[in-house]
A and B are shown apart, each in its own frame.
Chain A
């Protein structure tokens, strides 16, 4: 009997499950959606090839304008608010005594999912809710655009701040101490210490956190679906919510696929531009 080669004979078999699962449940649907975006399809009759008609119709659709605007608010908002405030809390707390305790209030909301957030905040933000009673106002937070999107963005900030803080704290604790000590000895403190010493050291990490926020912001779905379902009257829809509504509420599979393709192209393009900018400094 021949002895088996040292690396074994059955190597292909070990990667097969991974490749089959990924190919069958991720790649194949992806390609199928790309094809369906070029068809008219209601799920009953066979898909009918219509070329780029879904896309020309999409660019004339007033709903696209609304959802693009809202998605833009989400993207800019998530890149600025949770990241900026997270950096602030991290810088304020990373080297003081008991800093971890100061961060506890920000970590707690992270436990809630998008649906959980909807549950917690709906009674607060509803018209007869706690926020209006507390502030003595009579604002329909969740009714008018873009207020409702901004309100949800603040809710999202409430949830996301903690995890961003944590990332920044880990980063701050691992940057070299020497330049900071030297700057302190030279009399730098507060803002100038941050601006000229800490910030340049933190820039690479910030770029990663902002990049993650960019991609997540583009795909915002859960919290919007849980809090407004994109309404009222579709005015708080994001691109991801629009895709879901066109596909599974209006059962226009071809049109919904076109929205998905658009979302993918936008996400890919934005990530690419962002990465290129970061690499080129």
Chain B
């Protein structure tokens, strides 16, 4: 009984701010008053606030950019990482473990160690404030994890499958695309979701490498909106924006919960 009591009390404390977020994001933009923030407003203006936020911070453009980055980059990253894993494990690339360590070693660098050269290099190469530049960087960041998980996955697949397909005359590339890739769909999906979330929530690379409203990711736009709360953005609009940009990751997690759990357990051999 006491366990449930502690859980309920802690849970209520945790729900408090969530409640404040929902109630005040649904309040008409001009009706926010800290003193009565706990009282729900009679008028439900959540969608009104969503559309105000979309216009005011150009969130619509940023959402489009971020959607592009967080779908395309993980797709490419997962594909490239899987191909590397396949080559190392199945095709038994010479010095495969060294190549693998080289690729996986890419995860250990703190992003702070990358920022200055990326900023300067991108400026020189004309990739600064450019959607292609962002896609390229995000793809590279995604590769090591994908290679790690898929290498593990493919080392659990019987080699006789490969041999049989080879005897039937399939090319190594065709075997990768038609057999190994479909076989590892759940592991691919789990990595995709993790990387989607990482890119969707990224702030630092967006801050450093983008500027214009058409290129900057949504978290940078949202961050700009926070400073604006003191400069005229009504609190309900800001909260609605914060809520709106969180919805895609929530939806993705809910939609893929089972796949996610399965993929991770398969990948962690």
Contacts and interface: CB of A to CB of B under 8 A. Distances in A.
12 contacts: A15-B103, A17-B80, A18-B147, A21-B139, A25-B137, A28-B117, A33-B114, A109-B18, A120-B239, A221-B112, A248-B119, A260-B115
A225 B103 contact: no
Contact of A124 (B20, B118, B136, B219): B20
Interface of A: 4, 6-8, 10-12, 14-15, 17-19, 21-30, 32-34, 36, 43, 85, 88-89, 92-93, 96, 102, 104-106, 108-109, 111-116, 118-124, 128-130, 133-134, 158, 161, 219, 221-222, 225-227, 229, 240, 243-244, 247-248, 253, 256-257, 259-261, 263-264, 267
A23 to B, nearest CB: 8
B6 A92 contact: yes
B185 interface: no
B99 A119 contact: no
Centre residue among A7, A120, A229 by max chain B CB count within 10 A: A120
Interface string B234-257: 010011011101110110010000
Nearest to A3: B169
Given A29-B121, A115-B219, A260-B110, A123 B102 contact: no
B144 A22 contact: yes
A99 to B, nearest CB: 8
B229 A102 contact: no
Majority DSSP secondary structure for residues of B touching A: helix
B11 A105 contact: yes
Contact of B140 (A11, A12, A21): A21
Contacts of B137: 25
Interface in B96-131: 99, 102-103, 105-106, 109-121
Contacts of A85: 10
A113 B201 contact: yes
B112 A219 contact: yes
Contact of B113 (A89, A108, A121, A261): A261
Centre residue among B7, B32, B91 by max chain A CB count within 10 A: B7
B166 interface: yes
Contacts of B201: 113-115, 222
A18 B83 contact: yes
A117 to B, nearest CB: 8
A27 B141 CA distance: 11
Contacts of A111: 246-247, 249-250, 253
Contacts of B141: 25-26
Contact of B116 (A161, A253, A264): A253
Given A89-B10, A124-B17, A130-B37, A260 B112 contact: yes
Contacts of B118: 25, 29
Contacts of A129: 34
A6 B90 CA distance: 11
Given A28-B117, A119-B225, A89 B112 contact: no
Contacts of A14: 83-84, 86-87, 91, 172-173, 176
Nearest to A7: B91
Interface in B1-40: 3-4, 6-8, 10-12, 14-15, 17-18, 20-21, 24, 32, 34-35, 37-38
A106 B105 CA distance: 34
Contacts of B250: 111
A10 B116 contact: no
B120 A115 contact: no
A38 B21 CA distance: 47
Given A14-B173, A29-B109, 5 more contacts: A14-B86, A18-B81, A22-B106, A24-B140, A115-B245
Given A18-B83, A25-B118, A25-B137, A102 B17 contact: no
A222 B140 contact: no
Contacts of A24: 140
B71 interface: no
A12 B243 CA distance: 46
Contact of A113 (B81, B120, B245): B245
B226 interface: yes
